Structures are given as structure tokens and as C-alpha cells.
Amino acid sequence: MKKSSHAEIRCQQRGIKSEHVELLLKYGVIKEKDGAFECSLPRQIFSEISYYLKQDLRNLDKISKSNKTLIVRDNTIITAYNKT
């Protein structure tokens, strides 16, 4: 998504990094406001996202340690195994 020069300056002044903007756009709640849209991350939504991301990290760690592998063809998983 493009940023206006005004938004670039404001982000820089307020310490809002590009990574922050990407996360807000990915996980934020969008509401219409004065003919535009406001994207923010309310505390409750953060708690929910945080819970699921922590679960994903634990699962990714398990997958990585056991070296799980899928074989896919034509958008179908045809087998799965632990790679040694």
C-alpha cells in the first residue's frame, strides 16, 4: 500500500516502522471514519492474535525439530512423513 508524504513524515516522527504498518494492515480492525478508514489494533484483538501466534510458534518449533514434510501435487497433499 502506498503512503502519502504526510504519512511518511508522521510515521517517522512517531516511531511507526514499516513493520508496524504491515502488522496493522494484516491484523487490525478497520472502521469507516469521516469518509476514510481507520485501522487500529484494540487490546482485546491483540490478546486473541497473540494467543494464536504463540500456538503457531510452538507448533512451528515442533515441526522444525521433527522435520515434518509434505509432498503436494496439483494442490493436493499426496503424502506426509518425517524427513531424516
Report pLDDT digits (tens) over 3-55.
999 999 999 999 999 999 999 999 999 999 999 999 999 999 999 999 999 99
What span, in angstroms and rounded, lies between the C-alpha atoms of 26 and 38?
Answer: 13
Handedness of CA 23, 26, 30, 35 (dihedral sign): positive
pLDDT score of 84 more than 90? no
pLDDT score of 59 more than 90? yes
